[in-house]
C-alpha cells in the first residue's frame, strides 16, 4: 500500500454492476486507492465468474442478471446518498441506471453507453438507431434540468475515456514542438481553436495488442484479451467516424444523421468488417478495424469550431484497432459465419505469456505530419502493477479508477463526458499503471508504399483523406 497514493477517502458504498475482465481488474484498484473497506462494496453480476476473487477480498457477490423488470428491485436497496454505482456490464441500460442513481442521489460511471439487450444487434432496427451516435444523443438529453445532479461519468474506460485525455496532452506537445507558447486551454472552444491552429486533420485511436497465450485459438472459439461479448456487440454495430471538415470524398456507403450534433457519420457495414490504415511506434504501419467507439463522436464534437451554424473546423476521428492475433482470427471466423454468436469463448488473462498493448492517439496532418502519444504496457508490467489484470484491462481499469476519483472530487456535475474532465488529474492517477507513456513523431502517411502493387484511386493532394485511410484491398 505504501508505494501507492490513496487518492480519496470515500465514506459511501460502491456497487459494481458486472464482474468480467474489467470488474475483476478494477476491484483491487478501488480497494487500494479509495481506502474503502470490502464490506461496503457489492458486486451484482449475471455469471459466477469472479466469485472466488470476490470471496478472497470479502466482497459481497450477488449473481442476478439485471433486466428491465428487476433492476430497480435489486439495485435500489444498495444505493443511497453519496454512494457510487460503477457499470462495467453489457446489456444493462446505462440510461436506466443513470436515472435510478439520480433518484437515489448516487454517483455513476460507465465505460460505454450500453442499451438493453438487442439495442446493438437487433436486425429489425434501422442502422442509424444502432449507432453510438444515437445512444450518445439520448444520453446527453438527460442533461436538461439535471445540471447539478450527482455526477454521472459516461464512457470512461481506456477508450472511450483515457484517450480523450491523451489527445489534450498530445495537442500541447505538438504546440511546444512547433515553438508555440500556449497556455493550457481552460474551455472547450480553446481546445478546438488550438487543434485548428495546429492543423490537426485526423485523430486515430491507434491500438495494437500483441499479447498471446501458449494455447492457440481453436476452431469455433473466440479468443480475446477483454470482454468478448462487448467486443462482438460493438463490432456488429455500424462503423462510425467523426467526420472532418477537410474531407472531400464522402463514402458511397456512408450516411449522415438527421438530428443531433452532426459531428459523425456511419457506414452501412459493421466495424468488424471495416479496416483502416494507421501507425503506432512499435508496430509501425498496421491495418486496424474501424470499430465504433464513443470517442470517435465525442472528440470530433468537442474539437469542432463553428461560426454560427457553419463548421469552420473539425478533425476526422475514429478507432483503428488491431486486437491480439487470436482475436483477429476470431473476427475472420465470425464474419465467415455471418456474424452469428461464437460457439465458445476464451478470455485470456493468466495464461498470457508475452506481449504488450500499445494504445494511443495519432494526431496527423499538422506541420510535423503525425504524432502518436500513449501507453506501451506489457503483460509483465501489468502483472507487477496490479492483480487480476492483463495489459489491456489495466489500461481500462486505471481509467475507471481515475474517473471514479474525479467524480468523487466533483460530485454534482450531472452528465459528464471525458473531454469535460480535468485531463491532468486523470493522467496523474492513471500514469503509474500505464507502463511507458511516450510521444513519437512519424513521417508515415496512409499513402506510404501505395500503388506499388496495384493502381488505386487515391487522393494524392491530401494524404489524410479518409478514402486514403480506408482499406479497399
CATH number at residue 61: 3.40.50.720
Same-domain status, 84 and 113 = yes
Is a pLDDT exceeding 50 seen at residue 138? yes
**pLDDT tens column, 98-107:** 999 999 999 9
Q: Give the C-alpha separation, 267 to 287, whole Å.
A: 18
Residue 299 belongs to a domain: yes
Q: CATH number of the domain at 259, please.
A: 3.30.360.30
As a whole number, mean pLDDT of residues 37-45 equals 97
Same domain (yes/no): 239, 341: yes
128 and 173 co-located in one domain: no
Within a domain: 306: yes
Query: Which of 122-126, 410-414, 455-459 is predicted most confidently?
Result: 410-414
pLDDT tens for residues 299-343? 999 999 999 999 999 999 999 999 999 999 999 999 999 999 898
Q: Is the pLDDT of residue 25 over 50?
A: yes
Instruction: Give the pLDDT score at 3.
Output: 54
**Residue 353: in which H helix or E strand, if any?**
strand 352-354
Same domain, 254 and 353: yes
Cα–Cα–Cα angle for 384, 385, 386, rounded to 5 degrees: 100
Same-domain status, 269 and 197: yes
2 has a pLDDT exceeding 60: no
Q: 403 in a domain, yes or no?
A: no
Which of 34-38, 315-319, 328-332, 390-394 is predicted least confidently?
34-38
Do 117 and 218 have their domain in common?
no
Residue among 273, 113, 295 nearest 207 (CA): 295
Annotate 371-406 with DSSP letters as a single string.
EEEEEEEEHHHHHHH-TT--HHHHHHHHHHHHHHHH
Last residue of a domain, one of 133, 153, 173: 153
Are 235 and 338 in the same domain?
Answer: yes
Q: What is the mean pLDDT of residues 279-304?
A: 98
Whole-angstrom CA distances from 431 to 85, 179, 225, 401 are: 24, 26, 21, 12
Same domain? For 115 and 177 the reply is no
Q: Express each pLDDT in 436-445 by its tens digit.
A: 999 999 999 9
Whether residues 220 and 116 fall in one domain: no
- The verdict on residue 6 lying in a domain is no
* 223 and 75 part of one domain: no
CB 237 within 8 Å of CB 132: yes
Whether residue 417 is contained in a domain is answered as: no
Last residue of a domain, one of 102, 125, 153: 153
Residue 455, pLDDT score: 73
pLDDT reading at 250 higher than 80: yes
Place of cell 451516435: 133
User: Of the given ranges (67-76, 114-123, 179-188, 191-200), which has the lowest mean pLDDT?
Assistant: 114-123
Closest to 238 (Cα-Cα) out of 278, 292, 162: 292
Number of domain units in the chain: 2
Structural domain contains residue 408: no
Share of the chain above pLDDT 70, in %: 99
Mean per-residue pLDDT, 379-391: 98
**Which residues 6+ apart lie within 8 Å of 338 measured at CB?**
none
Same domain, 204 and 289: yes
And the C-alpha cell for 332? 475472420
Look at residue 119 in the predicted model and tell me its pLDDT. Answer: 80
Residue at a domain's end among 95, 124, 153: 153
What is the overall mean pLDDT for the chain? 96
Residue 209 lies in a domain: yes
Share of the chain above pLDDT 90, in %: 93
Domain that holds residue 203: 162-391+430-469
Pair (141, 19) in one structural domain: yes
- How buried is 88 (Cβ within 10 angstroms: 0-12 exposed, 13-18 middle, 19+ buried)? buried
Other Cβ atoms less than 10 A from the Cβ of 107: the count is 27
Tell me, yes or no, whether 405 lies in a domain: no
The residue-averaged pLDDT of 100-128 equals 93
Amino acid at each position: 500500500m505504501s508505494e501507492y497514493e490513496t487518492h480519496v477517502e470515500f465514506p459511501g458504498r460502491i456497487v459494481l454492476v458486472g464482474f468480467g475482465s474489467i470488474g475483476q481488474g478494477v476491484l483491487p484498484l478501488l480497494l487500494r486507492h479509495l481506502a474503502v473497506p470490502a464490506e461496503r462494496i457489492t458486486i451484482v453480476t449475471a455469471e459466477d465468474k469472479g466469485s472466488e476473487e470476490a470471496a478472497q477480498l470479502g466482497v459481497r457477490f450477488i449473481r442476478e442478471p439485471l433486466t428491465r423488470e428487476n433492476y430497480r428491485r435489486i439495485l435500489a436497496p444498495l444505493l443511497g446518498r453519496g454512494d457510487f454505482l460503477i457499470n462495467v456490464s453489457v446489456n444493462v441500460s446505462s440510461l436506466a441506471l443513470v436515472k435510478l442513481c439520480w433518484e437515489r442521489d448516487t454517483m455513476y460511471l460507465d465505460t460505454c453507453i450500453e442499451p438493453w439487450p438487442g439495442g446493438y444487434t437487433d436486425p429489425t432496427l434501422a442502422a442509424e438507431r444502432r449507432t453510438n451516435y444515437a445512444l450518445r444523443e439520448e444520453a446527453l438529453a438527460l442533461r436538461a434540468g439535471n445540471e447539478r445532479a450527482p455526477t454521472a461519468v459516461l464512457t470512461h474506460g481506456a477508450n472511450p475515456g483515457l484517450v480523450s485525455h491523451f489527445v489534450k496532452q498530445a495537442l500541447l506537445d505538438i504546440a511546444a514542438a512547433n515553438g508555440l507558447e500556449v497556455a493550457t486551454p481552460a474551455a472547450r472552444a480553446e481546445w478546438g481553436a488550438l487543434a485548428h491552429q495546429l492543423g490537426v486533420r485526423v485523430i486515430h485511436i491507434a491500438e495494437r495488442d500483441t499479447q498471446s497465450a501458449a494455447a492457440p485459438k481453436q476452431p469455433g472459439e473466440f479468443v480475446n484479451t477483454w470482454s468478448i461479448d462487448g467486443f462482438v456487440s460493438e463490432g456488429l454495430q455500424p462503423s462510425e467516424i467523426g467526420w472532418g471538415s477537410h474531407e472531400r470524398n464522402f463514402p458511397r456507403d456512408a450516411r449522415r444523421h438527421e438530428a443531433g450534433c452532426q459531428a459523425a457519420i456511419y457506414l452501412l457495414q459493421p466495424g468488424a468488417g471495416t479496416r483502416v490504415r494507421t501507425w503506432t511506434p512499435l508496430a509501425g504501419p498496421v491495418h486496424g478495424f474501424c470499430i465504433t467507439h464513443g470517442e470517435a463522436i465525442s472528440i470530433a464534437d468537442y474539437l469542432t469550431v463553428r461560426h454560427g451554424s457553419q463548421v469552420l473546423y473539425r478533425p476526422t476521428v475514429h478507432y483503428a484497432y488491431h486486437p491480439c492475433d487470436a482475436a483477429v482470427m476470431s473476427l475472420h471466423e465470425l464474419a465467415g459465419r455471418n456474424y452469428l454468436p461464437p460457439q465458445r469463448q476464451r478470455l485470456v488473462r493468466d495464461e498470457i505469456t508475452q506481449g504488450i498493448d500499445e494504445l494511443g492517439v495519432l494526431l496527423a496532418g499538422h506541420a510535423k505530419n503525425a504524432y502518436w502519444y500513449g501507453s506501451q504496457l506489457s503483460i509483465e508490467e501489468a502483472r507487477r502493477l496490479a492483480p487480476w489484470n492483463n495489459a489491456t484491462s489495466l489500461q481500462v481499469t486505471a481509467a475507471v479508477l481515475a474517473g471514479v476519483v474525479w467524480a468523487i472530487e466533483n460530485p454534482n456535475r450531472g452528465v459528464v463526458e471525458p473531454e469535460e474532465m480535468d485531463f491532468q488529474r486523470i493522467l496523474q492517477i492513471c500514469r503509474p499503471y500505464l507502463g511507458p507513456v511516450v510521444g513519437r513523431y512519424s513521417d508515415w502517411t496512409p499513402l506510404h508504399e501505395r500503388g506499388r502493387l496495384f493502381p488505386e484511386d487515391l487522393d494524392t493532394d491530401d494524404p489524410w483523406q479518409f478514402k486514403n485511410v480506408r482499406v479497399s484491398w
